[in-house]
Amino acid sequence: MTSANVSTQPSLAAADPEIAALIADENLREHETLRLIASENYASQAVQEAAGSVLANKYSEGYPGKRYYEGQQVIDQVERLAISRLQALFSADYHVNVQPYSGSPANLAVYAAFCKPGDTIMGLGLAAGGHLTHGHGVSVTGKWFHSVSYGVRESDHRIDLDAVRALAKEHKPKLLWAGTTAYPRTVDFAAFREIANEVGAIFAADIAHISGLVAAGEHPSPFGLADVVTSTTHKTFRGPRGGMIFCKPEHASAIDKAVFPGLQGGPHNAATAGIAVAAKEASTDAFKAYAKQVVVNAKHLAEKLVERGFRVITGGTDNHLILVDVTPKGIAGKPAAQALDRAGIVLNYNAVPFDPRKPFDPSGLRIGTPAITSRGMGIAEMDRLAAWIDLVCQSPSDEALLAKIAGEIKDMCNAFPAPGIRLGKGQA
């Protein structure tokens, strides 16, 4: 019998041509469309190489220096490197756990560390731009805990901190979340710290969407204020799919036990390596320039959409995303998103605050600039993008127009190669 060594192992294309073809299709789709989903980005080739490496072969229950399996000499170094780089990047004297499989498990670990079933928790309501794991009813966080949601003002759609304080004083939450998934303005972490102090709550900041902006100084930081900070490692951070938790040193044991063995077994070591690479990339001047341009692009695009008659929630943005009510254009969010997708503009339909429409057929679109900024696009491309969005929303059934726009977008994308995308022969 011939041993299975490198020289005899077939490539993916030979071993599984169906999957190889699907990956090639996705590779091409990500290259030739404008990716405006606010939670998506392009990971660099270096991040992808680390995340797809031989490190995925190793099982490593436990933490560096305290594993349950042997053979951890290399893995421990990888995890410690990821941790030290993140501490330096965020200038944080916080304990760091890089083992959560993604952002939602990271948030669940916070509950497991600090709460018991039935405890009161508070977070921004989903309809106001919050996340499912901040206590929404369809999430286990809304089923296992007594969830009190705060919202935004109807007048300007900004978080009503006076209402947050009043609710907190009334309900005395064990855990207070400050975090968003569809909120275009900066979060006042200092104000949340004050409120948490007043009611004796653990203050948790979820920066999944904005961690890259925080790292680059383009959004106020919760470090030094929050008891615990959670985040995904992709989105604006441009790492692999994963999660991370920062906490004050006095909470380190509770957080680590909540992650393992509380919620999961061994970490995904290849993802940990990808996080380490992303943290190193995020410490560069190039990353800081990217993060600054993300915000510049979002602000400019929001302005152009307002000029074209769209109703932009809060009138603009301070971060990487824009929430747009498209109903003034005579179309709802879902058909608009579907038509835009056919035109090569990929985003998601989304509810707007106080939306009179149903969640699966809402009034709005959520638009994000991280991925297109990673390609090097700037305000000139935002001008073209606003015009294309307007044309599609005015004529969503004009398939000839949609095809024409898709062709124009493909031409523009060819001029802005995406990080980590390697096209095959004849694909460009």
Contact 41, 370 (CB under 8 A): yes
b/e string for 7-34 if b means 16 or more Cβ within 10 A? eeeeeeeeeeeeeeeeeeeebbebbbbb
Which of 59, 257, 292, 410 does the annotation list as catalytic? 59
Q: Cα–Cα distance between 178 and 164 in angstroms, integer? A: 10
Which of 40, 49, 61, 390 does the annotation list as catalytic? 61
**Is the preceding omega at residue 362 within 30 degrees of 0, hence cis?**
no
Cα of first residue to Cα of last residue in the chain, in angstroms, is: 43
* 363 SS3 class: coil
Q: Cα–Cα distance between 135 and 148 in angstroms, integer? A: 7
Which of 58, 67, 153, 241 does the annotation list as catalytic? 241
Q: Cα–Cα distance between 52 and 274 in angstroms, integer? A: 9
Active site residue 281: no
- Ramachandran angles phi, psi of 174, nearest 5°: -75, -30
Which of 35, 174, 185, 235 does the annotation list as catalytic? 235
Contact 149, 135 (CB under 8 A): yes
Find, among 295, 303, 345, 296, the residue nearest to 324 by Cα. Answer: 303
Token reading at 215? 């790292």
Q: Cα–Cα distance between 244 and 231 in angstroms, integer? A: 5
What angle separates helix 399-414 from helix 17-32, to the nearest 10 degrees? 90
Q: Cα–Cα distance between 47 and 28 in angstroms, integer? A: 19
Which of 141, 230, 232, 317 does the annotation list as catalytic? 232
Q: Cα–Cα distance between 16 and 1 in angstroms, integer? A: 23
Active site residue 232: yes
Active site residue 185: no
Which of 32, 79, 160, 206 does the annotation list as catalytic? 206
- Ramachandran angles phi, psi of 144, nearest 5°: -90, -20
Active site residue 59: yes
Active site residue 317: no
Active site residue 61: yes
Enumerate the active-site residues.
59, 61, 206, 232, 235, 241
